[in-house]
Structure 1
Amino acid sequence: MQKEWRCMKMLHLSKAGSSEVVNKRQVVWSMRIAQLFVLSFSLLSAALYVSLIPQYYNVLVGKCILQGCGNLVPAMPLPANGFSLEQFGLLFVLIDVLFTFVFYMTSAIVLWKGFREPMGLVAVVAMVSFGSTFPSLVMAASKGAGFAHYWFLGISMLSWVSLSLFLLLFPNGKFVPNWSRFVFVLIMIVDVMTLFYEGQMWEKFHIPAIVQFLWYGSSTLILIYSQLYRFRNRATAAERQQTKWVVYGASIAIVGFIGMSALFDPSLNDGTALTYVYLNAVLNASLTAIPITLMFAVLRQRLWNIDPLVKRTLVYGSLSVCIVLIYTVTVLYLSRVIQTRDHYVASLLATAIVAVAFAPLKEWLQRQINRLMKGRHDDPYAVLLELGNQLIQPQDPDAMLNAVVRTVKDALRIPYTAIYTGIGGQTTLVASAGSLLYEQHVLPIIHRGKEMGTLHIASRSAGEGFTAEDNKFLDVLLRQAGPIVENWHMTQGMKLLAQDLQESREKLVIAREEERLYIRNNLHDDLAPKLAALALNAATAQIYVETQPKVAIDMLADLRKVIRSTVDEIRTLVHDLRPPTLDELGLIGAIQERIALLSKPAAMLAGEKGAEVLDIQLYTPGLLPPLPAAVEVAVYRIVTEALVNVVKHTKATTCTVRLEVSEVDQLHVEIRDNGAHFTPLTVHPVAEGKSGIGLVSMRERAAELGGHCHIDRPAGGGTRVLAVIPLS
């Protein structure tokens, strides 16, 4: 069974592999057929086009220039002084041929470099078709030529269909959005009907010109919208760059076509052949942006950054329009004021005005377009000035950080900006503006050689980086953001310190009240009943003194024992509040007494084990300044606990206790031994066993007085306890 199963599985895999091979072969053959069709179509169209060039020249010279050829070529009177009829005919032929030559050359490059790209084949068909039929050459020269005439009628229809298909599918071959496929079907139906009626469909059905305008305008806008929609929602980084080139070329062509078509109106020009030469040349030059940008987009090789080109186009295009308007308005106004007919003086003054206004107008337009596209990265100091004006207003550090992130976001026109910094060992978001749409870049915020935080900024679009001007702006701004983040850290530290201080005060108050409650309970529940019993026993003994002296003597003996135990309890209670030796001997004397008391059992223990006797030495600066009672108690408890730990746990042979007063009015208490290490987190009771403070309590006692206590292990061995307590 297993053998049969393996055979069946191998047979199934072999069938799947063979079907996959068949599918690949079908794709390869389909692609080869498409390549052959596009190559044949291009060569045939180019050959027919070249064959019609002489005929076009003859038609222009013989009829079209002087008498007109319908909608193809209007009648154009020759200027009095200028080129001859033959020269004008040659100029029109050269303009059309150069236009078509640009389309043919870009198509050849795409066909050569992108021969295996389906979108490249569609682009070739679109460029060959449009480049052949947009000029009036083929239509004017092929009338009555039979096959050539109908061939180019079909190509004219194919040019708009293939160009529409290219814009709807580029760059990944899918209709985006999905409903755009129905728009393409509608465009194809209209173009096929136009071919069927040989370009006279609109006149045949008496469709108004406004409907024609709306149809062509809306369909063109849909084609551009599909590219913009794909750019914003579906495209990858490389596809976005390709789409930029396509939209850029289409925008230049549409603007040039609309602008120059308006100037073809006879009411806006003198209608001479020389004027039409200029208009045709500029119109064709603007439309050649389509094949050049399509070639860059399809090939995807060396996709240069198009943003500087777009900015320069906008700047010089706007500048040209402004200069033309200034010149025209100035000439018309000065002509009326001066009332001259030859306009020489007006033209001279208008030229001077344009020359003076050129430089500042160019700078202003450059600045406005830069800010429109990339924000204010070219003027970081003005942005810093505005930020400084915001920061001098009374506001908390959080508001300052929010002002910084908003300034970066608005100045660079990016969708998201945020500042992260470390709080409590964790990286935390402290300020943000906008929403994160694309990938983000992280930049460190460094101040005084220390990284205070990080600035997170998002790209303007997917895959788009930042320019050198952007990085320069960010470098300048990060230098100013460092002190602001440091100020925020200091404020947060002060808040945490104030919070810790408040908690410490609350703990002190609670500890004080607990201590008072403890004393009250001892006095009320223990000492008070005992004193009352003493008074009662004394009164009873007084009664028995005369009648029963022996009973009175026994009662007085018991009374004496009770009084002694009561005195011991009172001493214990007082000792818990403050060691009596501090009042009797002072701090240094009390420590010396504690050292003496601990040295005796340590010496006896060492003698039993045959070990070396522990030597404890006290070093003081002589006379200590008057110390507060709380400081004396804390120092005494810390030294006592440290010495007990040395005796019990370290097996040390030497131990030094050092008290010093520093220049900044701080008392340094150091207990250092040469014994073995011990775990510094264990809480041990003190020798007296009553108060029960351990190592944790040592730290707490120092912290309650505004100081600190830590335990370390020096390089030479042993253990060191260092407590620093301020005296002021």
Structure 2
Amino acid sequence: MTAPLRTALRCAALAPVAGASVASQWWAPPSPSGRWVLWAVIVGLGLTASYALVTARRGASAPSRLLGLSAAALLSAPLLAAAGVPELAVVPVVLASTVTLPLAALRVVEVRPVSRALRWAEASVALCGAGCAVASVTGGEPALIAAGVASGTAMCAGTWVLFELTSGDDRRRVLWLVLGAAATTLAGMLLFALDNSLTPGFPAGVVAVGAVSLLLPGSITVALVAPRAVDVRVVMRGAAVLIVMLALSAAVYEGVAAVWELAVGARPGKGVPPLLAAGIAAGYQPVRRHVEAVMDEMLFGRSADPVETLTRLGTDLTAGAPPPLWLHTLRTTLGVPGIELRQEDTVVATAGTVDPDHVQVTALRADGEKVGDLVVGLPPGHLRLPRAAAVVVDLVAAPLAQALHAARLSEQLRLSRGRTVTALEEERRRMRRDLHDGLGPTLTGIAYTADAVANLIATDPEHAVGTLRALRADVGDTITEIRRIVYGLRPRALDELGLVEAIRQRTAPLRVADGRPLTVTVDAPEQLPQLPAAVEVTAYRVAVEAVTNIARHAAVTAATLTLELRGSTHLRVTVADSGRCTEPWTPGVGIQSMHERVEQIGGTLTVRTTPEGATITAELPLAIPE
């Protein structure tokens, strides 16, 4: 038998009892004195719906069975009353109200804590409920009231134990119980006051009482089925603040009215109440914010000390401590479960444990640029950071942003230096290989040939002459190899033609992928100042590499290259094309090589791509720092 079928059969078992209970209200209508019978039908039907929902979600669990027993007990009461035994009909109502429903409430958690106090609370609920049932039969009203109060007290004690022993979703379930009990109590008090003043009719009053009685079963159902459907903490806090504000508003209104009556001798006239109401409305929002802050302080403990936090954090930053130590200091002084420092989607550092669903995120900005986020885990039970803690976070955001920005720049500098050292070592390795594998054997051969010539001059002059000619060819090859190595270090055209003409000479023969010539327009000053050798080589390499990339990858036949002096401090090299980019662009080896060359001399390289084309800009310093 499948699980859905078993669930349907369990729910269907209550259907005949529910139908008979409803039908009994027609063949044996209750009198006003027996209105509890109609109440039992209303609440029994509500519990039947709760039983069906919980069983469909959690199967034949202990809470669903207890809800089903509660529904069956309440629905059986009207049948017993219709059968002429109203004395016995009261018993299942009392047992459902004081035993099975409270026990269902105490079983809402997924993992039942091991607690002797909780077992004693459940046993007390069952014992007191049994006492209430006996008192209802014997007619001992004082005993019935005493047993009912004891049962309610035991349930409150059990709920408190559950709250202390649970966390996460289980604690949310317990909070739903607290909300349901509080709502039932407040609504019952309000209904009692209305009953004394308005005296509603028989059916209306019973329906209202039944609706109030279903608040607790409804909260049990939500706790079991969907504890995260609504954040119960938001509901509880909002309800508490609303009740406090309503009480304060009523107290202010009645207090002013009483003082007016004492001073004038009569209640305020027609014009005073609207003015008083307007004054209360004007001050409602500021007072509400203050009430929320005070409530947070009262419920969730001591707030952070801004001076202490800034002092300790400043000590860490001054000492050059790493980011995890910053967060540890901040977490300790704020008293939060965890803090994270993020850059984009990367967690830079963390301290403690952070629940991603229960955090407050503060953007960190340095010089108008967002450099990261400070993610603060909220303390247990908090909906937001306490006011003083939020002030501390706002205060430390600026120095943290500057420190994070400085740390990022230091890391970039470290990586840049690493790339520079790697490039230098690779260049040295290349030169060593060229000298060892190219010039080394050639020069060795020249030396041996010279020795051979010296030995042949006296005995075989003609052979010596031929050997000298071969030696001359080897020397020529060696000169060519030396030139190749030298030109690899610094292009020959730079010394012969200068930077601008060297670029023109190198880019003139370039062609695009389909064979058409690439027209490069070079815009440069008539006379460039004497540039440092490293800057001149970098400008040449970047310009040539950028134009070559256009020839290889951009479907255009024209490019623009601009050399521009930026005051007396920088040379700007800009290469642009008008090729349309229809696919995501990913930088390759050429762009990375240009970045490394520019960073080696302290410059910056930016690449900007748009659907209308791409632009590469290099800012090169005219004076290289030592």
Superposition TM-score tier, normalisation by shorter sequence: 0.5 to 0.7
Superposed counterparts of 1:432-447, under 5 Å: 440=358
Cα deviation, 1:493-536, whole Å, max 9, x if unaligned, reads 43333233223323322332333233334334442343333233
Match of 2:545 in 1: 641
- Whether the aligned pair in 1 keeps the contact of 2:341 and 2:374 (CA below 8 Å) is yes
Query: In the superposition, relative to structure 1, how do residues 451 and 521 fare at CA in structure 2: closer, same or farther (>3 Å)?
Result: closer
d(CA) in 2 for partners of 1:17, 1:652 = 71
Counterpart among 471, 474, 491 of residue 403 in structure 2: 491
Counterpart among 413, 416, 423 of residue 343 in structure 2: 423
Superposed counterparts of 1:235-384, under 5 Å: 235=173, 239-245=177-183, 297-298=212-213, 300=215, 307=240, 374-376=295-297, 383=303
d(CA) in 2 for partners of 1:216, 1:558 = 121
Query: In the superposition, relative to structure 1, how do residues 554 and 246 fare at CA in structure 2: closer, same or farther (>3 Å)?
Result: same
Counterpart among 97, 100, 105 of residue 166 in structure 1: 97
Match of 1:225 in 2: 157
Give the alignment's TM-score, normalised by structure 2.
0.56
User: SS of the counterpart of 2:571?
Assistant: strand
Distance apart, 1:561 and its partner CA: 0.9
Percent sequence identity over aligned pairs: 20
d(CA) in 2 for partners of 1:716, 1:174 = 66
User: SS of the counterpart of 2:297?
Assistant: coil
Distance apart, 1:677 and its partner CA: 8.1
Match of 2:620 in 1: 725
Match of 1:390 in 2: 309
Cα deviation, 1:283-331, whole Å, max 9, x if unaligned, reads xxxxxxxx9x988841649x9976369979999xxxxxxxxxxxxxxxx
User: SS of the counterpart of 1:709?
Assistant: strand
Q: Computing the radius of gyration over CA atoms, which structure comes out larger, 1 or 2?
A: 1
Distance apart, 1:547 and its partner CA: 4.3
Cα deviation, 1:58-86, whole Å, max 9, x if unaligned, reads xxxxxxxxxxxxxxxxxxxxxxxxxxxxx
Superposed counterparts of 1:438-457, under 5 Å: 440=358, 453=373
Match of 1:705 in 2: 601
Cα deviation, 1:10-52, whole Å, max 9, x if unaligned, reads xxx9xx9999989634323235659999956x728xxxxxxxx
d(CA) in 1 for partners of 2:160, 2:299 = 27
Q: Is 1:502–2:434 an aligned residue pair?
A: no
Distance apart, 1:637 and its partner CA: 1.9
Match of 1:328 in 2: none
Q: Is 1:26–2:34 an aligned residue pair?
A: no
User: SS of the counterpart of 1:376?
Assistant: helix
Give the alignment's TM-score, normalised by structure 1.
0.49
Distance apart, 1:633 and its partner CA: 1.6
Distance apart, 1:706 and its partner CA: 2.9
Give the stretch that moved more between structures: 617-626 or 214-223: 214-223
d(CA) in 1 for partners of 2:435, 2:361 = 67
- Whether the aligned pair in 2 keeps the contact of 1:617 and 1:656 (CA below 8 Å) is yes
- Whether the aligned pair in 1 keeps the contact of 2:188 and 2:212 (CA below 8 Å) is no
- Whether the aligned pair in 1 keeps the contact of 2:95 and 2:133 (CA below 8 Å) is no
Match of 1:366 in 2: none
- Aligned AA (2:535): V
- Whether the aligned pair in 2 keeps the contact of 1:110 and 1:295 (CA below 8 Å) is yes
- Aligned AA (1:621): P
Distance apart, 1:660 and its partner CA: 1.9
- Whether the aligned pair in 1 keeps the contact of 2:559 and 2:578 (CA below 8 Å) is yes
d(CA) in 2 for partners of 1:695, 1:195 = 89
Query: In the superposition, relative to structure 1, how do residues 505 and 598 fare at CA in structure 2: closer, same or farther (>3 Å)?
Result: closer
Cα deviation, 1:80-113, whole Å, max 9, x if unaligned, reads xxxxxxxxxxxxxxxxxxxxxxxx9xx7996898
d(CA) in 2 for partners of 1:576, 1:535 = 26
- Whether the aligned pair in 1 keeps the contact of 2:420 and 2:596 (CA below 8 Å) is no
- Aligned AA (2:604): H
Query: In the superposition, relative to structure 1, how do residues 22 and 667 fare at CA in structure 2: closer, same or farther (>3 Å)?
Result: closer
d(CA) in 1 for partners of 2:425, 2:348 = 41
Q: Is 1:592–2:525 an aligned residue pair?
A: no
Query: In the superposition, relative to structure 1, how do residues 511 and 427 fare at CA in structure 2: closer, same or farther (>3 Å)?
Result: closer
d(CA) in 2 for partners of 1:700, 1:506 = 10
- What is the Cα-based RMSD across aligned positions, in Å? 6.4
Distance apart, 1:582 and its partner CA: 3.2
Distance apart, 1:555 and its partner CA: 1.8
- Whether the aligned pair in 2 keeps the contact of 1:421 and 1:452 (CA below 8 Å) is yes
d(CA) in 1 for partners of 2:42, 2:493 = 101
Query: In the superposition, relative to structure 1, how do residues 20 and 646 fare at CA in structure 2: closer, same or farther (>3 Å)?
Result: closer
d(CA) in 1 for partners of 2:210, 2:535 = 86
How many corresponding residue pairs?
486
- Whether the aligned pair in 2 keeps the contact of 1:452 and 1:482 (CA below 8 Å) is no
Q: Is 1:576–2:514 an aligned residue pair?
A: no
Distance apart, 1:432 and its partner CA: 7.1
Unmatched runs of 5 consecutive residues or more in structure 2: 48-69, 78-86, 109-117, 164-169, 190-205, 219-234, 249-290, 318-322
d(CA) in 1 for partners of 2:9, 2:300 = 64
User: SS of the counterpart of 1:392?
Assistant: helix
d(CA) in 1 for partners of 2:9, 2:107 = 34
Match of 1:256 in 2: none
Query: In the superposition, relative to structure 1, how do residues 530 and 391 fare at CA in structure 2: closer, same or farther (>3 Å)?
Result: same
Counterpart among 14, 21, 43 of residue 33 in structure 2: 43
Cα deviation, 1:667-708, whole Å, max 9, x if unaligned, reads 11123467898998797xxxxxxxxx9454233322332333
- Aligned AA (2:453): A
Cα deviation, 1:579-601, whole Å, max 9, x if unaligned, reads 2343455x43xx414524664x5
Match of 1:271 in 2: none
d(CA) in 2 for partners of 1:513, 1:658 = 32
